[in-house]
Amino acid sequence: MKGPLILSLLSICNAWWCTGHMLGAYIAQVELMQKYPSIYNTVQSILGPLNGDLTGNIANTLTETSCWADDLKVNKFNEANTLHYIDKPYNPQGLSIDPTPTDNIVWAISNFNNTLIASVTAPLEKSLALRFLVHFFGDIHQPLHDTTLFSYSFPNSDYGGNSFKIVYDENVNNLHKLWDSAIGMLETDLPRPLSSSSWETLDQLAQWYTGNYTREDLRYELQSKSLTSWTLDAYMLAIDYVYNGIEVGQTPSPEYVALARQIVMKQITLSGYRLTDYLVSALTPFTQVELYY
């Protein structure tokens, strides 16, 4: 059931678990270093002021800081929790339900985008904005950060799959955790700061993921820059692949697992490419673009 790179460690994160976040960010980090080194330098200089002790010595690179918004929760800072998702109701039985909260991940990304690109922002705010953005670019691609099920069994919703109990393994006992763990593929949180062997693990995974889903394969998805359409795409994936073919209390079938792993691989890879494209467009100085074109 588990690949050779997967160990069994308990994870306390509740978004793509840390390795999934780092994999998406690593894909972006490598693309920036290879194709846009000056943007990569800008990223590092924005991270700089909050590196080291200020972020617990575990968030010193674009890759490692992708888990920082979840580190906040571990550190009892829960004020930003609602910003990690936009749970659009999947309501096949037509129950009467409350409207979706507006302080959601789409709102958060657009506002942190404003902070990141503002010319007057102080280093603290810019660094925080970038760190949140890297994380939210991952979360928005996890279908259960875009969807919540309402039904007779879940009249108050299943909280993005968190209340939807399933049987999988000792760490994964609900649908949300199943998808956060990349369907068991990325269940182990690689310790940060990353060791050289953990960087190699990420590099191997990134090669597999980007090999299975190249930019060319995803060219259609990459044309869309609308956060709302990204969340709708993920919502459709939730209906077709997350909630389809599994009932409460079941163990996911091999068919479910195989399909779901493809979806996860695609979504994490897409999050990496989109993060690259976003950072290039956000951090290319406007005046410079005008001068050069």
Tokens of 268: 């994490």
Q: Measured in whole angstroms, how far is the alpha carbon of residue 230 from the centre of its chain?
A: 12
Among residues 159, 156, 188, 150, the alpha carbon closest in space to that of 172 is found at 188
CA distance 105 to 231: 9
Please identify which residue in the block is written with the tokens 């659009």.
Answer: 88
CA distance 28 to 175: 27
CA distance 17 to 289: 37
> Least distance from C-beta 205 to ligand NAG, angstroms?
8
> Least distance from C-beta 113 to ligand NAG, angstroms?
4
Task: Tell me which stretch binds ligand NAG (CB under 6 A): 40-48, 138-146, 208-216, 230-238.
Answer: 208-216
> Least distance from C-beta 211 to ligand NAG, angstroms?
2
> Least distance from C-beta 88 to ligand NAG, angstroms?
18
Task: Tell me which stretch binds ligand NAG (CB under 6 A): 36-44, 83-91, 138-146, 205-213.
Answer: 205-213
Residue nearest to ligand NAG (CB): 211
Task: Tell me which stretch binds ligand NAG (CB under 6 A): 13-21, 46-54, 105-113, 167-175.
Answer: 105-113
Q: Does 278 bind ligand NAG (CB under 6 A)?
A: yes
Which of 113, 115, 151, 171 is in the footprint of ligand NAG by CB under 6 A? 113
Q: At what angle do helices 18-35 and 37-47 cross, to 10 degrees?
A: 130
Asked if residue 230 lies in contact with residue 267, where contact means CB atoms within 8 angstroms, the answer is no
Q: For binding to ligand NAG (CB under 6 A), which residues are involved?
A: 109-110, 113, 117, 208, 211-212, 278
